[in-house]
A and B are shown apart, each in its own frame.
Chain A
Amino acid sequence: AQTVTQSQPEMSVQEAETVTLSCTYDTSESDYYLFWYKQPPSRQMILVIRQEAYKQQNATENRFSVNFQKAAKSFSLKISDSQLGDAAMYFCAYRSENTGTASKLTFGTGTRLQVTL
Chain B
Amino acid sequence: GAVVSQHPSRVICKSGTSVKIECRSLDFQATTMFWYRQFPKQSLMLMATSNEGSKATYEQGVEKDKFLINHASLTLSTLTVTSAHPEDSSFYICSARGGYNSPLHFGNGTRLTVT
Contacts and interface: CB of A to CB of B under 8 A. Distances in A.
B73 interface: no
Interface in B69-87: none
A105 B105 CA distance: 12
Interface in B29-63: 32, 34, 38, 42-46, 49, 51, 57
B43 A45 contact: no
Interface in A12-27: none
Contact of A45 (B32, B42, B93): B93
A102 B57 contact: yes
Nearest to A102: B49
If over half of A's interface residues share one DSSP class (helix, strand or loop), that class is named, otherwise mixed; here it is loop
Interface stretch (A59-67, A72-80, A107-115): A107-115
A42 interface: yes
Interface of A: 42-45, 47, 91, 99, 102-110
Interface of B: 32, 34, 38, 42-46, 49, 51, 57, 91, 93, 95, 97, 100-101, 103-104, 106, 108-109
